[in-house]
Structure 1
Amino acid sequence: MADDTDTASAIPTLEDWQHWTWVMGRAQQMLMETWADGLPKDAGWPAAASPWGAFPPAFPAGSPMTTDPAALFSAGAEAWAKGLETWGKMIGLDPEAKENAKDRRFAAPEWQESPVFDTIRKTYLALSDKLLGTAEELDGLDDESRHRLMFAVRSFVDAMSPSNFALTNPQVLKRTMETRGENLLKGLANMLDDIAAGQLTQTKQGVFEVGRNLATTPGKVIKETPLYQLIQYTPTTDEVLETPLVIFPPWINRFYILDLTPEKSFVKWCVDQGISLFMVSWKSADESIADATLDDYVLNGQIDAIDTVRDLLGVESVHTIGYCVAGTTLAATLAYLTAHKQQSKVKSATFLTAQVDFSSAGDLKLFTGADTVALLDEITRDSGYLDGRYMAATFNLLRGRDLIWSYVVNNYLMGDEPAPFDLLHWNSDTTNLPASWHRDYIESFYKGNKLAEKGGINVAGTAVDIDTVKTPTYVQAGREDHISPPESVWKIMGHFTGPKRFVLAGSGHIAGVVNPPAAEKYQHWTNNEPADTLETFIAGAEEHKGSWWPDWLAWLKSQDPATVPANGARVPGKGKLKPIEDAPGRYVKAR
């Protein structure tokens, strides 16, 4: 009797048929509407002319959706399992090989509870290991070719994960049956919205806003040029360090990565530690700065900001921070100042995940080939600047499993909204780049590695040599950094000849930097003994729990511990430069 009941309950009712027919029909309608919206207005395809009228037809009789959906899903998964199993046997896979316990794609219990999905999971993982191992051991390849092959294979196996497809993901199938397909409709709507926006959604929309709950550290914009705005932050202590600090964020991103929510803000933390702080906010490129060059970012950007702060506060020198690509240009700036015997303008330089020698630049170097440059020329020919969404897509590709495919599953298959996350809001807040300068950066720095050569780079007619830089330097690298690998960042130590301190932080390019002490997350390593290589540094390094920020602050104060009252020109608007607007300013909000 129980078997009869179970059998009867598995037979779709008329309501089930109608619902699933509506789901597929609605999906067709959404696709057709999106297609029609993309047609030229004079293309002769008004909506009323659609042969289907207001709603596209349901699937014809005999199509898969006129059978039990649960049976269809089960049959699809079993077919995949058998296919993978067959391939595995052909190439001698061991599906019982040791698995990566940290692989979040298969963390849900459904992947182990069902023999079908357990087979799919194990066989896929074994097949992935086999492909990656074969690529790594292939004979006759130079290092660069092997690097390209490994990246391509890794990208392929990540894309082909069974977790990325509805019929081979048990969580998606379960959600689909629970919602009767509503998740797929919501996911399709999410996907079409992202296609229209030209960008993958990584965080819940409307939660964060620059100036409202991001970049809220009080301050004033005290200078504006065609290239940047200069922000001076309001002191929160009675006394401040006499030598001020000027931060140069990457021009490929918005500066507020260093001023996220107040709990994560490096800017707020610095101000609260008694630092007179200034931030450069680069303008997102448009036609007005499309022809900007290295000379502009060094002379009219970094040196101009340094001189502005020196003059405003009446000090001989400033501390500087260069983050990522801004650190690369800061190295050129220091070498230029040294060549002109003006190195005393900068008392110290801090480099956050920055590279000056690109011989070991990591996966990002794979996107500097002739095809990439040709595409760059083509898409920027008319405007003269590069839409920041292209750079965002490139960075996402470097961590496709986490920054692309996890959102494909969550947003498009499960039909969920991504969780609100300030860091990913910033990651999606793209910045346009001057095309000619970006192309020159690829050709001269990444491909040519000219900055590492004596006189390889010219700034305003001056051949610069970073090996002459004697400015006291603090170098921070991220242990898991996929954009500026620690072995590449380390190379600064072999070029600059002044006193240097290297610190290796836990995590990567962003989380390794944005790690406030109060969070008590990750760790960092220091080594006070001389080290010729990164390996030697690591071998003798001492591990410290938590943020590297206090270590940096102690180092900064050791360069000049003198303090002055936090009044007069130390307060935004109280000196010779009058406020233009409140921080964070217009440039960081411009799209």
Structure 2
Amino acid sequence: MPGFATFDRLSRAMFARISQGVSPLAVADAWTDWALHLELALGKQEALAMRAATFLLRLGFWLPRAAIGEPENPPLRPPEGDRRFADEGWSAYPFNAIVQGFLVADDWWREATRQVPGLVRRHEAEVAFMARQILDIAAPTNIPWLNPEIIRRTLQEGGFNLLRGWSNWIEDAERLLAGQGPYGAEAFPVGEVVATTAGKVVYRNELMELIQYAPATAKVTAEPVLIVPAWIMKYYILDLTPETSLVRYLVTNGHTVFIISWINPDRHDRNVGLDDYRRHGVMAALDAVSRIVPDRAIHACGYCLGGTILAIAAATMARDHDDRLASLTLLAAQTDFADAGDLMLFLDERQFLLLEDLMWDQGYLDTRQMAGAFQALRSNELVWSRLIRNYMLGERDRMTPLSAWNSDQTRMPARMHSEYLRGLFLENRLSAGRFAVEGRVIALRDIRVPLFAVATTRDHIAPWRSVYKIALFADTDITFVLASGGHNVGVVNPPNQSIGTFQILTRRHGERYVDPDTWATLAPERQGSWWPAWRDWIGGVGTGCAADPPPMAAPSRGLPVLGDAPGAYVHER
């Protein structure tokens, strides 16, 4: 009966708030499957026992030497990139012995949760992820009386570091209750310190504002650039400070740039769907750009989820013989979700139902619920290390423009997020040829314009091999770039910083497919930023013609200037 079904949804939504959207049934199912199969795997048990005995024996020989100050060749070392034990205090006895005990446990659990005969691959990944989370919580770095850095700082300062930490905790709690951003974010006001590139809002609807940036050169490249950012966060990650702004870089290199600034939805937008973002976002922006710069093809660029919806729009345009695109650029954007990384681990029907009911009740997915999922992917860096620094050592993390942007989060409409999770993540319809737009299936292989795809080596949100799968589905010239860094830092890497590396290689239309690992061995590595390579690529696939800058907006065509950049939507919280 409808009334009872509604009551069920409300009860599940209340439970989802308590569990932070995690289904306990999915968690229990994974652990039960692992435990039962491990119980039957006598050979695996013997291997684990021998592994533990070997390390304990090595520890037994090593500990006496460590106790007298001669610790050589410890049995285990922290994994590459793990900086938790970098403080010199961890190399002295007894703390080095504590570290070794933790690393032995960490190694044993890593081995225990992999290659268990008969275990479902999905459950194996889930159990391994949960085991890592538990070990991260129990790490000695998080236990004040076992952490030499905390002990030393407390003795040196007479406990004042703990008083500062307590004060920091009180201040952060007050800011959270007041709905303010994290400490230090106020130093980067939008439109004053970040998102300062000169421009005008030239179009606005109920879903987005379109910003056109003022020209910085006497002549510009004939074809304009339209950037479609993700609506999970604010657009200005691509227009941070003047030194780190991709938008400013393009403008100063003679490009006419437009960018979408999405609205921050609330419960009134609960019925906004995924296709609304295509129609009232991407397509409405293309229509506006075509009216301001008529008779010119457009270089379209999409970042993260914005790249996914742009790829959907481009395939739809190709199906419908809409040839307004000059090229397509995808930045850390997935079109196939079969290997979408750890975000996929607990997204099954049970988990989806819980999230769907939570969003049905709220009308949206809250910013804190999304942030928690992303932080869990790198809990060492994003959670526990920060807690120790802020509340035990009494230090404050230095707020940067990127971290201030990262705290300026947005919500997700219930219907859109539900369609996105089911259609793309759960059922992977886009690459499987089952994604329909306006009642007709689209195909990525219909895209014929040159394609430029960027992935990053340490991306936990869009793993680079997943991003690379566009090479399986698009039937055109594809230039693929693999940049060092993560999902954000690998993209926001201006040339003036001269840091990082990237690999780049083009596969021409008609050439044979190359798997990602082979590609990585073939693609030459370059130092610095990939931005200049993209700038040159845009110049190569366009007409190469220079033109006078177009007017700001087009009042005669119904597009007057509505205000200065960064607009109104970016300020909504």
Coarse TM-score class (shorter-chain normalised) = 0.7 to 0.9
The whole-number CA distance in structure 2 between the counterparts of 1:147 and 1:341 is: 43
2:569 alignment counterpart: 587
The whole-number CA distance in structure 2 between the counterparts of 1:202 and 1:217 is: 25
Q: Look at both structures and tell me which one has the larger radius of gyration over its CA atoms.
A: 1
1:296 alignment counterpart: 276
Decide whether the 8 Å contact of 1:482 with 1:509 is kept in 2.
yes
Q: Deviations over 1:302-361 (max 9, x none)?
A: 01101110111112421100111111111111121122111x111110000111111111
Alignment of 1:476 onto 2:464? no
Larger CA deviation: 544-553 vs 373-382: 373-382
Decide whether the 8 Å contact of 1:321 with 1:352 is kept in 2.
yes
1:532 alignment counterpart: 514
Q: Report the AA paired with residue 198 of structure 2.
A: P
Decide whether the 8 Å contact of 2:268 with 2:363 is kept in 1.
no
From 32, 56, 80, the counterpart of 1:92: 56
Q: Report the AA paired with residue 502 of structure 2.
A: H
In structure 2, runs of 5+ residues without a counterpart are 1-51, 60-73
Q: Report the AA paired with residue 559 of structure 1.
A: V
1:13 alignment counterpart: none
1:574 deviation in Å? 7.7
1:250 partner SS = coil
1:206 partner SS = helix
2:237 alignment counterpart: 257
The whole-number CA distance in structure 1 between the counterparts of 2:330 and 2:555 is: 31
The whole-number CA distance in structure 2 between the counterparts of 1:163 and 1:148 is: 24
Decide whether the 8 Å contact of 1:524 with 1:546 is kept in 2.
yes
Decide whether the 8 Å contact of 2:229 with 2:304 is kept in 1.
yes
Alignment of 1:490 onto 2:468? yes
Q: Deviations over 1:359-382 (max 9, x none)?
A: 111111124234543442343334
1:221 deviation in Å? 0.8
2:417 alignment counterpart: 438
Decide whether the 8 Å contact of 2:55 with 2:75 is kept in 1.
no
The whole-number CA distance in structure 1 between the counterparts of 2:514 and 2:546 is: 39
Q: Among the aligned pairs, what percent are the same residue? A: 34
CA 1:485–1:139: 2 relative to 1, 3 Å: same
The whole-number CA distance in structure 1 between the counterparts of 2:475 and 2:499 is: 33
1:12 alignment counterpart: none
1:118 deviation in Å? 1.6
Q: Report the AA paired with residue 160 of structure 1.
A: A
1:246 alignment counterpart: 226
CA 1:417–1:401: 2 relative to 1, 3 Å: same
Alignment of 1:313 onto 2:290? no
1:288 deviation in Å? 3.6
Alignment of 1:104 onto 2:68? no
Q: Deviations over 1:507-566 (max 9, x none)?
A: 121111111111111111123465421112112111111111111111111111434444
Decide whether the 8 Å contact of 1:235 with 1:566 is kept in 2.
no
2:198 alignment counterpart: 218
The whole-number CA distance in structure 2 between the counterparts of 1:461 and 1:213 is: 45
Decide whether the 8 Å contact of 1:319 with 1:349 is kept in 2.
yes
Where does 1:120-139 land on structure 2 (aligned, <5 Å)? 120-139=98-117
1:187 deviation in Å? 2.2
The whole-number CA distance in structure 1 between the counterparts of 2:536 and 2:111 is: 45
The whole-number CA distance in structure 2 between the counterparts of 1:482 and 1:201 is: 24
1:106 partner SS = coil
Alignment of 1:500 onto 2:482? no
CA 1:370–1:202: 2 relative to 1, 3 Å: farther
Q: Report the AA paired with residue 430 of structure 2.
A: L
From 188, 211, 232, the counterpart of 1:208: 188
2:391 alignment counterpart: 412
Alignment of 1:383 onto 2:362? yes
1:287 alignment counterpart: 267
1:395 deviation in Å? 0.8
The whole-number CA distance in structure 2 between the counterparts of 1:568 and 1:297 is: 27
2:327 alignment counterpart: 348
CA 1:205–1:425: 2 relative to 1, 3 Å: closer
CA 1:216–1:406: 2 relative to 1, 3 Å: same
The whole-number CA distance in structure 1 between the counterparts of 2:76 and 2:334 is: 36
Alignment of 1:396 onto 2:375? yes
From 542, 548, 551, the counterpart of 2:524: 542
Q: Deviations over 1:256-275 (max 9, x none)?
A: 11111111111110111111
1:215 partner SS = coil
1:237 alignment counterpart: 217
1:109 deviation in Å? 1.1
1:381 partner SS = helix
The whole-number CA distance in structure 2 between the counterparts of 1:220 and 1:283 is: 17
Decide whether the 8 Å contact of 1:504 with 1:526 is kept in 2.
yes
Alignment of 1:358 onto 2:344? no
CA 1:266–1:93: 2 relative to 1, 3 Å: farther
* TM-score with structure 1 setting the length: 0.80
Decide whether the 8 Å contact of 1:392 with 1:427 is kept in 2.
no
1:426 deviation in Å? 1.2
Q: Report the AA paired with residue 224 of structure 1.
A: R
Decide whether the 8 Å contact of 1:135 with 1:150 is kept in 2.
yes
In structure 1, runs of 5+ residues without a counterpart are 1-87
Alignment of 1:272 onto 2:236? no
Where does 1:38-187 land on structure 2 (aligned, <5 Å)? 92=56, 94-95=58-59, 96-100=74-78, 102-113=81-92, 115-187=93-165
Decide whether the 8 Å contact of 2:292 with 2:554 is kept in 1.
no
Q: Deviations over 1:221-248 (max 9, x none)?
A: 1111100000000110111111101000
Where does 1:314-329 land on structure 2 (aligned, <5 Å)? 314-329=294-309
Q: Report the AA paired with residue 498 of structure 1.
A: T
Larger CA deviation: 442-451 vs 377-386: 377-386
1:520 alignment counterpart: 498
1:220 deviation in Å? 0.8
1:122 deviation in Å? 1.9
1:470 deviation in Å? 1.6
Decide whether the 8 Å contact of 1:94 with 1:126 is kept in 2.
no
The whole-number CA distance in structure 2 between the counterparts of 1:302 and 1:179 is: 56
CA 1:93–1:200: 2 relative to 1, 3 Å: farther
2:46 alignment counterpart: none
2:544 alignment counterpart: 562
Where does 1:448-487 land on structure 2 (aligned, <5 Å)? 448-454=427-433, 456-487=434-465
CA 1:341–1:245: 2 relative to 1, 3 Å: same
CA 1:346–1:205: 2 relative to 1, 3 Å: closer
The whole-number CA distance in structure 2 between the counterparts of 1:123 and 1:589 is: 49
The whole-number CA distance in structure 2 between the counterparts of 1:94 and 1:138 is: 26
1:511 alignment counterpart: 489
CA 1:89–1:562: 2 relative to 1, 3 Å: closer
